[in-house]
């Protein structure tokens, strides 16, 4: 990824003066994709959540409804300010400016969400990030990843490349693999049980 100051400037420019630069709250594509991601998580209660690349906090708010605590991070100070305003009334949510290429927050998490972020990283940096995510996950932890598949000008790799790395992570089972022309979603976890098994239906 580009250096922190340059990365912040790049993404601040996308957010500045725009409460929702990607139309996350109003575009049916984004609303539907978010609902698919939320429905793909194997646990009803998510426990401790780390969301990487929270943007303006729209998905953070949805995740917070099912979590015990959530830490949402983004490299853009503009995005973080907007997300903090959106989450101000949610006492168990924190939003921080963070460059994940320098490391991940301390603590143990039950779920790490990586959405529309991985393709801004080189293959090597993504590999390091995924290994760090493995290190902060609980014994039954889960990683959920969702990315746009068409390649854009500021991407360092494709969404498909990102998800190849996610699904090849040692010690994790792919619980959900959902692919469409526009996006790919994978949920991988240490706990191999299906949702039916987790809820004692079989």
Return the CATH number at 102: 3.40.50.150
Q: Could you tell me which residues come within 8 angstroms of residue 177 by beta carbon, excluding any fewer than 6 positions away?
A: 167, 184, 185, 186
Q: List, for residues 108-154, the tens digit of each pLDDT value.
A: 999 999 999 999 999 999 999 999 999 999 999 999 999 999 999 88
Q: Which position has the token pair 């040692």?
A: 170
Q: How far apart are CA 201 and CA 153, in angstroms?
A: 46
Question: To 10 degrees, what angle do helices 123-136 and 159-167 make?
Answer: 40
Q: Which position has the token pair 């929702």?
A: 20
**Degrees to nearest 5, angle at CA 110 with 109 and 112:** 75
Q: Which position has the token pair 């239906």?
A: 201
Domain count, the chain: 1
Q: How far apart are CA 188 and CA 100, in angstroms?
A: 20
CB 30 within 8 A of CB 146: no
Query: Residue 153's domain spans which residues?
Result: 4-198
Q: List, for residues 57-96, the tens digit of each pLDDT value.
A: 999 999 999 999 999 999 999 999 999 999 999 999 999 9
State pTM to two decimals.
0.90
Q: Which position has the token pair 């949402």?
A: 72
Give the DSSP H/E element, type plus range, for residue 176. Answer: strand 173-179
């Amino acid at each position: 990824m580009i250096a922190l100051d340059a990365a912040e400037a790049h993404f601040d420019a996308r957010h500045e003066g725009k409460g929702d630069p990607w139309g996350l709250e109003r575009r049916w594509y984004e609303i539907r994709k978010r609902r698919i991601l939320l429905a793909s998580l194997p646990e009803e209660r998510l426990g401790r959540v780390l969301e990487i690349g929270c943007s303006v906090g729209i998905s953070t708010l949805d995740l917070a409804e099912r979590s015990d605590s959530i830490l949402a991070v983004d490299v853009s100070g503009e995005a973080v300010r907007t997300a903090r305003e959106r989450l101000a009334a949610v006492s168990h949510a924190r939003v921080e400016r963070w460059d994940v290429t320098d490391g991940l927050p301390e603590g143990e998490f039950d779920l790490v969400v990586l959405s529309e972020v991985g393709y801004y990283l080189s293959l090597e940096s993504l590999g390091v990030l995924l290994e760090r995510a493995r290190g902060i996950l609980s014994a039954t932890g889960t990683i959920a990843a969702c990315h746009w598949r068409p390649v854009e000008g500021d991407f360092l790799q494709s969404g498909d490349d990102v998800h190849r790395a996610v699904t090849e992570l040692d010690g994790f089972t792919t619980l959900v693999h959902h692919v469409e022309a526009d996006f790919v979603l994978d949920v991988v976890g240490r706990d191999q049980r299906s949702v039916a098994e987790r809820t004692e239906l079989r």
